[in-house]
Structure 1
Amino acid sequence: MAPFEALYGRPCRSPVCWLEPEDRLTTGPDVIQENDEKIAVIRERLLSAQSRQKSYADRRRRPLEFQEGDFVLLKVSPRKGVTRFGVKGKLAPRYIGPFPIVQRVGIVAYRLALPPELSHVLQKLEQYLPLLENLIFHVNLVSSNRQISQWTANLKIQWSSALCSSSFFNLRSPKFFQIGDLKFELQMMLFLYGAILRQRAVEILPENLVQSATLFREAAGLYRHLADESFASLQQHSLLVEKPPEILPSVSTVMNLICLAEAQAVTIRRAEEKGTSISLLAKLHHGVAEFLDEAAVILYAAIGECKDISSRFVEFLSSSRALHRLRGQKYHAESLKTAGKVGISIAVLRVALTDGKRQMPGEESWKSTYRKEIDDTAELLRKIEHENGFVWREKVPSKEELPLCEGNKIVSSIPYQPKRWERELAFKI
């Protein structure tokens, strides 16, 4: 007996089987044919309704594509009680600009040239962190006082996680975490500071490679500080069901390795511009992949400890690692060909293509870049195989006989030096 019939004492009528309660149900092939006909009518009407609603929505929508140099407005999300752009709350602007497009980085993603005044967030963080460090220092001095302990215990500090949002490092998330600890505020603030340094490094990458690499190294040093100097009081909250990934030392270590990998990737771009040898470029790309390999091992262990890490963050890590490994193998094959080892060069390219196609990223913005690298590698393989077939006729070894290309890590993090506002605080107890 169905739950509806048990509750109301009569069978439920539906568009599929619209019968009176006293009617006897049809059984056998007839009911199957009747159900199929009704389902066909339902699908037809659903498609009609969807098409009608789509026509209404399309009246105010059109496909838009922008080019470098176009000016566009930037949408910002006002938050209740927060002052932004000089206006508080719901009166804050929803769009700011216009700003010029400096680069297209995806199908619907563009990099904008933002004015210097929008960098005030970084400046405010650099002013706030010494004050916070000083406050925590003086609170620790009088931590034995009962009133101070009660005051700190009643704190309700709430943060959203940059690693839990749907897009990697969107710096905003609909999910909030709350831990009543001043050191939680400091930990999250330092993590945010590192994220903004990394974001700034990405923004200035097309203009200044040296400064971009420096910012990546500074962010790496900050995350190294967070991983080494993790607060014991925050680890007491590790038993919480929901906790932000930022308080885990392992996640800070992962971010340290990612920033080091990005700094070395910027260094590779400078080396390519200077005409560095192909063999060294291959080792540098493999060095980036080794940074990311180490980060991936730590991240997968951290996912078991904190399941709120964004899937796009994991995708970013795996896609970057596959891309640099493919580029490293391509440069390695070119260096082998230059050294006269044509057969080994062909084998390296074949293995690179097989592994590369198996690791194709799922995100569309990554696919275009990765597919282009696959096509370039396939074209290089075709040329070397053609040359080997007509000129060299060298034997192509198997995968097990290939020499390994060792990576070379040449970048290091810039150590973070905590700054404390040197002024004594007095508490009214």
Structure 2
Amino acid sequence: MNTAEHPALADGPVYLDYNATTPVDPRVVDAMSPYLTRYFGNPSSDHAYGAPPGDALDIARAQVGALIGADAGTIVFTGSGSEADQLAIRGVVLGADVRRPHVITQVTEHPAVLETCRSLERLHGVRVTYLPVDTDGVVDPSQLAAALTDDTVLVTVMAANNETGTLQPVPQIAHITHAHGALLHCDAAQAAGKIPVDVAELGADLLTVVGHKMYAPKGIAALHVGDGVRLEPVIYGGGQENGRRGGTENVALAAGLGTAARLAADELGDSDERIDALRDQLLMDLSQRLPGRVTANAAGAARLPNTLSVSVEGTRGHQLLAAVPEIAASTGSACHSGQHSPSPVLAAMGLEPTRALATIRLSLGRWSTPKDVDTAAALIARAAAVSR
């Protein structure tokens, strides 16, 4: 575990928004540096300048694969998690030998998944079923079983929700999906690097990993594509990434993602326990400082160890956080033209609007400390006391 203070967080607000993005680990920067300076060659080139970048891609593929229990050859580098999700969903649908393919997802997916599904409905006549969730944000596998049809080619369900941390029963979903002859895609952007993720245990035919959610830079992600999965590319080109994603690879970013994956694999376990304890301490401190006013959302579900979604009675989340600029966190609302409405995730879970609008998301990470938790609880409680 890298316990030194991150230079980007020194003298700034307490950072509790790790689910939005993570600081780039300095060790990741060091691993990227040679491919921004000395080793500039095209990894597809056969001459001496292409060899080190090509080797770096191979190493990075193996590192990402090792994090998720996959072979290096199944890893396709992409420019973002949104692109990886689109490649998985659009790629399977357009590559399927079905006249009118059917896709199943669930209502609390990331917009990268939901908007891809909606575009397929709009542009290609694809049928999409959006499964509901319970009050903890969990999909009922029996509802998936009832929704499957002879034309279902893909089920796409995330591993962990970015707002609440809710973990979906992916292995059960995979078993039902495969028994029906369909493929399973799992967006593991929030899960990979925070909890153990293994494609075989999950039963995922396709799985998305995102760099900037696990201490690598933005602009790099990966899609695991299982053996025999047929995909239509999203980006056409010169056959890079085994023909699945055209364009010369960004070797420096791939090396960064690979190193981030290696560090995450090395630090899983001890890091989970430390962060889980900090999250629980944060909830306890808030509850003690604001008796009867703090409610944890999705508390009945298995959740990510770093994520705390809480509603603070008598407040509006966006106003509460605006009153404490010493804290960087997110709210449970969406803002459109200055008007705040409950987030689609919380609405789908059945939270009534007042409680949803009183929600804030506090997500911890590699550089979170007990002092951060103490400071955040005190500042939030003080602001909430004033706002009531």
TM-score (normalizing by structure 1): 0.20
- Larger RCO (CA under 8 A, 6+ residues apart): 2
Q: Which has the higher helix share?
A: 1
Larger Rg: 1
